[in-house]
Amino acid sequence: MEAVIGLLLMILGVSHGVETYCDGRQNGAQCYGALGGTVVLQLMDNASEISRYTWSIKTTTKTDTRTTTTILIVIKNVIVSNTIANRSFFTPSNGTFRINNLSWTDGGEYELVIFDSDGKISEQRTLQLTIQAPVSSVLLVSECLSQGEMRVSCSSEGGDSPQYSWTLDGRTLTDAELLSGNTETNNITLKQKVSGRLVCSVRNQVSRISTCGFTFINCTLPNGMRMSKWVFAANNNLCIEPTTAPNTRTETVDHSLLICGVRAAVVVLALIGITVYFAWKKRKYKMVRRKMEHQENSVVMVEMRS
């Protein structure tokens, strides 16, 4: 049953983190993996025709001593050794190495060594794998200044080396719209009369996330009063309920729980189907067995009458 569950999870693609891909076929490739996630490394095009190759990681100890630990050994298309087989999978046919549940210790320099049929080294190349924590949430806070300018601060949580970008109505902000700051900093000040939908995005090498943003409202209320104000885009009701204070702080909505819930439901239904199937086969087997026993008893009765 555990094997069946594992197969279903692989088919459905259920994972517990971010998945990244890196082409490591060029020497010195720079690759990134998300902490707790999965990285797929393209080591070669097709490994099935290579006589022998090894894949190792080079680490530096506290005493600045360089050590090499061999992870993968393949001889004539047979995996002789894989020291992290419990959370990795190598596919010789397409030369990809998949590592799950990445930790900080997985970061480092990896070396692929290919041998020819005579046992001599025919090729050597390295790749650098860097592990980063993905961005988990983004907070956006605004402040209206005395002259009608708007100061906006964008901050992220849980991400390594965050990079910021700003858009207004889906396009990049221009210098003419900014009083201070630039589109790559987390704090900006907009000039007067700048309006539209303002969105902050935060990214690093393994993730990207955006806020819901602010929008500029310009309308006339039922009492004739004219309103012009920046409000939280998801609560754009200034012209309907002017007494409701707009939110100025938000977190991006994470749909991962919904996706995981749907996948879990599919897995449960599949397991129920498998259970019903095996129960039906077992019942059918018992019925056939009883029928055979009944036939044998009938034959015995005929023989006794004769």
CATH (domain of 149): 2.60.40.10
Residues 141 and 127 in one domain: no
Domain boundary residue among 109, 132, 155?
A: 132
| Dist CA 282 CA 204 (whole Å) | 54
Using one digit for the tens of pLDDT, what is the confidence trace for 78-134?
899 999 999 999 998 889 999 999 999 999 999 999 998 888 999 999 999 999 999
Using one digit for the tens of pLDDT, what is the confidence trace for 40-79?
999 998 777 788 999 999 887 777 778 899 999 999 888 9
Give the per-residue pLDDT at 205.
92
More confident residue, 156 or 237: 156
Q: How many domains does the chain have?
A: 2
Cβ proximity of 219 and 227 under 8 Å: yes
Residues 94 and 153 in one domain: no
Residues 34 and 109 in one domain: yes
Non-local CB neighbours of 171 within 8 Å, separated by 6+ positions: none
Is residue 273 situated within a structural domain?
no
Q: Print the domain residue range for 111.
A: 15-132
Q: What length is written for the chain?
A: 306
Residues 32 and 117 in one domain: yes
DSSP code string of 240-292 = T-TTSPPP--------HHHHHHHHHHHHHHHHHHHHHHHHHHHHHHHHHHHHH
Give the per-residue pLDDT at 64.
74
Strand partners, 180: 189
Is residue 277 situated within a structural domain?
no
Give the per-residue pLDDT at 298.
43
Where residue 36 falls (left for φ over 0; alpha for ψ -120 to 50; beta otherwise) is left
Domain boundary residue among 78, 100, 132?
A: 132
